[in-house]
Amino acid sequence: MYDVFGAKPVNTMGFSETADFRTFKDIGRFNEARSPMKAANFVQAKHGAVVAITPAEARKLQAHLAH
């Protein structure tokens, strides 16, 4: 998720997806027709957060993605 400052009509958030954290695919912005990312209980995009994970948690995520 990344900020798209200055977008019209309002600032919004953009989204990308990845399976390997090396290559990324753009999946659109909040509430765009082609984007799966839709606001559910708010009018504008909200700021996201970055959460640190431990190496053990990273390995579990990587194992989960391998399935």
At residue 11, what is the residue type?
Answer: N
How many domains does the chain fold into?
Answer: 1
The boundaries of the domain holding residue 52 are: 1-66
pLDDT at 67: 76
Q: From residue 25, how far is each of 14, 16, 21, 22 by CA, in Å?
A: 11, 5, 11, 10
pLDDT at 49: 72
pTM for the whole structure:
0.53
Mean pLDDT of 1-17: 77
Give the whole-number percent of the chain exceeding pLDDT 90.
18
Token readout for 58 is: 């990273």
Tokens 């209980």 appear where? 41
Token readout for 67 is: 């399935």
Rounded to an integer, what distance in angstroms lies between the CA atom of residue 43 and that of residue 21? 30
